[in-house]
């Protein structure tokens, strides 16, 4: 087995230095906040013969896929008690029928070339909605420049999933500009401070005995991990599934409480199945609401009777953003160390890249949208 205290072994598989990128997450938070503070909303934009006014929206659609869309899931959970209008995360090719000129459509694609997101940008134009976009360049930026819709450009050159702090903080700042949320500066500051503190704890240079990310990676090795979250950690649980898929290249599942207690909990009733190859990772909070705390404890008790690998992680910090980002940070590190234990490069996503080539050859939707938008 790979020794995670051996830097040479780590570097042998982490060829694109994802661990080094992880160490800079606090800088990415700061950079995104500084960058997005200079973002301004225009009074309007024109598409064909129609002038679309920017105003207070009656609903918001956050459009993206994968590591770009997950920021919307985080925001909806983080600010559900503050948001006074419906906010929906859309992860498909099309917009819902209710979308109109009173809807704010936020299109997010780290690369700027995600075809589903480009499709929704074009449809948002056709529906005469307010549009804001986030990318590191690509066609999404080109489209926004052509139509003169507001766009936040973030740092390029990262694996899309590693750009999460850039996307999330930029998205939060857009909601702030529209007056949909407020008082976020202290939350962002605490999140930045927590990430600085944790960077050394999870660093490849920190030995296993003092490194919880490495310890948990060993615990999860050769298992099928199920991550269970709740409330503000619901999207963190889902992201963990995605990170174990993309980085570690393993099958992984995620569940959310209390919903899991109405279906997923029953799989543990089957005493005829050996489940010790399954590991369960609970994302906890020391400030859990009492109903959630009871559900977590009872669910953990049941699962512990059926499998040996039941683990818990707790957030750092006091604010919602710090708690979300600190648990995400830990799980991202775990997934990279788990990739190294599996002796694979965490960055490469061959099947995704191959599928994109097939879609480009058979559909060429990017080219079609580029013609439609740039030619008006």
Nearest to 64 by CA among 87, 90, 100, 88: 90
Q: Please tell me the distance from the alpha carbon of residue 158 to that of residue 16, in angstroms, as a whole number.
A: 9
Annotated catalytic residue within 115, 141, 192, 246: 246
* CA-based end-to-end distance of the chain: 58
Which strand ranges, in their side-by-side order, compose the sheet holding 103-108? 87-90, 59-63, 103-108, 130-135, 151-153
Q: Please tell me the distance from the alpha carbon of residue 80 to that of residue 89, in angstroms, as a whole number.
A: 13
Buried b (16+ CB within 10 A) or exposed e, 258-291: eebeeebbeebeeeeeebeebbbbbbbbeebeee
Query: Known catalytic residue: 148?
Result: no
Query: Known catalytic residue: 262?
Result: yes
Handedness of CA 215, 283, 201, 23 (dihedral sign): positive
Annotated catalytic residue within 209, 262, 290, 375: 262
Query: Could you tell me the CA-to-CA distances from 372 to 118, 134, 147, 218, 375 in Å, in that order?
Result: 11, 20, 12, 51, 6
Annotated catalytic residue within 91, 300, 356, 368: 356
Q: Please tell me the distance from the alpha carbon of residue 340 to that of residue 6, in angstroms, as a whole number.
A: 11
Query: Known catalytic residue: 356?
Result: yes
Give the position of tokens 């490194």: 211
Residues carrying an active site annotation: 246, 262, 356
């Amino acid at each position: 087995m790979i020794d995670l205290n051996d830097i040479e072994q780590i570097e042998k598989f982490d060829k694109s230095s994802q661990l080094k990128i992880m160490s800079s997450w606090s800088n990415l938070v700061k950079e995104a906040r500084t960058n997005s503070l200079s973002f301004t909303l225009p009074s309007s934009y024109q598409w064909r013969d129609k002038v679309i006014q920017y105003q207070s929206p009656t609903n918001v659609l956050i459009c993206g896929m994968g590591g770009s869309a997950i920021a919307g899931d985080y925001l909806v959970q983080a600010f559900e008690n503050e948001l006074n209008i419906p906010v929906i995360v859309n992860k498909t090719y099309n917009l819902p029928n209710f979308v109109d000129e009173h809807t704010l459509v936020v299109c997010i694609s780290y690369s700027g070339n995600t075809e589903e997101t480009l499709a929704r940008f074009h449809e948002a134009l056709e529906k005469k909605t307010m549009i804001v976009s986030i990318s590191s360049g690509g066609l999404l930026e080109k489209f926004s420049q052509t139509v003169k819709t507001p766009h936040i450009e973030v740092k390029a050159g990262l694996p899309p999933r590693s750009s999460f702090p850039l996307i999330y903080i930029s998205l939060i700042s857009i909601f702030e500009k529209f007056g949909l949320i407020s008082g976020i500066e202290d939350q962002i500051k605490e999140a930045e401070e927590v990430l600085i503190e944790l960077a050394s704890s999870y660093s490849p240079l920190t030995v296993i005995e003092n490194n919880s990310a490495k310890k948990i990676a060993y615990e999860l090795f050769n298992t099928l991990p199920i991550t269970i979250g709740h409330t503000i950690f619901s999207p963190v649980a889902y992201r963990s599934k995605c990170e174990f898929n993309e980085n570690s290249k393993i099958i992984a599942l995620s569940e959310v409480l209390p919903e899991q207690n109405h279906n997923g909990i029953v799989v543990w009733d089957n005493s005829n199945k050996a489940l010790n190859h399954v590991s369960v990772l609970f994302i906890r909070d020391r400030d859990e609401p009492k109903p959630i705390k009871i559900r977590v404890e009872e669910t953990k008790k049941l699962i512990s009777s059926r499998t040996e690998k039941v683990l818990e992680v707790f957030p750092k910090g006091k604010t919602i953003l710090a708690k979300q980002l600190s648990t995400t940070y830990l799980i991202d590190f775990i997934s990279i160390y788990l990739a190294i234990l599996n002796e694979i490069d965490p960055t490469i996503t061959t099947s995704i890249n191959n599928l994109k080539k097939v879609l480009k050859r058979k559909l060429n939707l990017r080219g079609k949208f580029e013609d439609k938008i740039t030619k008006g």
